Amino acid sequence: MDRLADWLKGLDYELITGDIDIEVKDVIYDSRKAEKDTVFVCMTGTKTDSHDFIREVYEKGCRAFVVEKDADKLLLPKDENGKTRTDFSLISVGNARQALALMSAARFGHPTEKLCCIGVTGTKGKTTTSFMIKSILEHCGKKTGLIGTNGCYIGTEHFETRNTTPESYELSEYFHEMVEKGCEYMVMECSSQGFKMHRTDGIKFDYGIFLNISPDHIGPLEHADFDEYLSCKMKLFSQCETGIINADDSHAGEIAEAYPGLLTYSIRDKADFYAENIHYTAGSAFMGVEFDVRGRFEDEVKLSIPGEFNVSNALAAISVCSLLGLPKEEINEALLKIHVDGRMETVYKSDKFQVIVDYAHNEVSMESLLETLRSYKPERLVVVFGCGGNRSKDRRTGMGKAAAEFADYSVFTSDNSRFERPEDIIADIEEAYLYAGGSKDSYAKIPDRREAIEYAMTHALKGDIIAVIGKGHEDYQEVNGVRTHFLDREVIKEIVEKYSL
């Protein structure tokens, strides 16, 4: 048991009623977890307001509440005579989400202070870069934890997560588990929503890496506009000791002006870390890219993930690992062996054709992926993709346009249609595809994703590269609120076996 007063240190708060010198055992923000000796943090969400559950939580034995609304607007516990009870503590804060983050860190003993913390943010490349850093560290014998889009990893253990950046309480719980299991390092994908929702508040990153930014995650339930999106991404540099930025990004100058002293990396010009002599390599057993690194790290590197943008991701990983003092030969060996589920993942390769799985799920990432695969000079570049339902239609327009401009043949299919009809989503993609100049004989419409992948593979021509994109590592399809197991990688392997490819 701890003292509530200790968990409130560092917070700007006002005690409205009760006492903070009481014993507590846990912080909660879900009313279903309420019990004796818990502190309930009330947050105003887009769908629910947990301030409305104070009386319910009180009945379960909770006697401490952190709120961000005025006391006179709360439904506080009453006695049998209708008078407000006095046997509880009510603490008012300006921002309950920030309070949850700081209190959670205190509840778990401030675990990030016991780890070397590396934060990675950007519109695309966060997962690949984070796994590169983790792979290099582990190749050097450093036990490492990772949190991101693919879940939470503590050494070799894996835990599913709902968000790229989980809620702050879960983050602190994972960090604590990392410390308990002997991790020295923590690598974390930092999403713009994570910063906006104060999930990362209180974390002091030893290193912060800014990969890139382009319009995405802008809408009623995400960011109001691009300026807000950029502002949230930039928050990483206010929470890190050493900042590293991709000098090739069009917003790098603006960011560097706001945060002087950032280190840089580039695949275009000279920087603190930069790449030269980039060339693509493809053979029967290897598809990747080779390049020279110059600046603060000088060596020849062979990367087993295709693409120029992955050279940029590798430079980001090399930068931080070099600053950590890790040996060059170990960094190079790790990059040669690197594998990231659902990120430029070669799932099938034969003398006739090969199949790549990638998470590209918007116009920018799709264009980048297809341009990269074109560099390997396929006979045809075939892309299988869909778009998520109940999301901005701009994504469908953008991806339809990208397919028309960069692919030789496209198969439009389903990808988490949610509460929309897959046929309606495909119709939107088709309209954008044709408007962008795609021909009527250069695509197929197959709503069933398994059938779409099978069609592309069984109709492959010699020299084809087939890119199955949008889901990457995701292992489900969401239709009408129900998730069923579906993993592109597994489906591809089943088709290979079914047709003895």
pLDDT at 283: 66
- Asked if pLDDT for residue 201 goes beyond 90, the answer is yes
Across all residues in the chain, what is the average pLDDT? Answer: 94
pLDDT at 155: 86
| Closest among 342, 346, 320, 341 to 331, alpha carbons compared | 320
Q: How far apart are the C-alpha atoms of 421 and 428, rounded to whole Å? A: 11
Q: Which fold has domain 345-498?
A: Protein-Tyrosine Phosphatase; Chain A (3.90.190)
Q: How far apart are the C-alpha atoms of 357 and 465, rounded to whole Å? A: 11
pLDDT at 219: 59
Question: Could you say which DSSP state residue 473 is in?
Answer: T
Separation in Å, CA 155 to CA 67, 163, 376, 475? 37, 20, 35, 21
Separation in Å, CA 265 to CA 59, 188, 247? 56, 19, 6
Separation in Å, CA 165 to CA 73, 194, 310, 316, 318? 31, 5, 22, 20, 23
- Asked if pLDDT for residue 270 goes beyond 80, the answer is yes
Q: How far apart are the C-alpha atoms of 323 and 305, rounded to whole Å? A: 23
**Antiparallel, parallel or unpaired: β 157-159 and 151-154:** antiparallel
CA 52 to chain centre: 31
pLDDT at 339: 84
Give the pTM: 0.84
Domain 109-337 - what CATH class? alpha beta
- Asked if pLDDT for residue 244 goes beyond 90, the answer is yes
E strand or H helix at 255: helix 252-258
Mean pLDDT, range 177-181, rounded to an integer? 97
**Helix, strand, or coil here: 202?**
coil
CATH number among 1.10.3720.10, 3.40.1390.10, 3.40.50.300, 1.25.40.10, domain 2-106:
3.40.1390.10
- Asked if pLDDT for residue 224 goes beyond 70, the answer is no
Mean pLDDT, range 421-445, rounded to an integer? 97
Mean pLDDT, range 229-246, rounded to an integer? 94
The ranges assigned to domains in the chain are: 2-106, 109-337, 345-498
pLDDT per residue over 31-65, tens digit each?
999 999 999 999 988 788 999 999 999 999 999 99
List strand residue ranges (DSSP E) for 64-190, in order. Answer: 64-67, 89-93, 116-121, 144-148, 151-154, 157-159, 185-189
Question: Which residue type does 246 have?
Answer: N
- Asked if pLDDT for residue 220 goes beyond 80, the answer is no
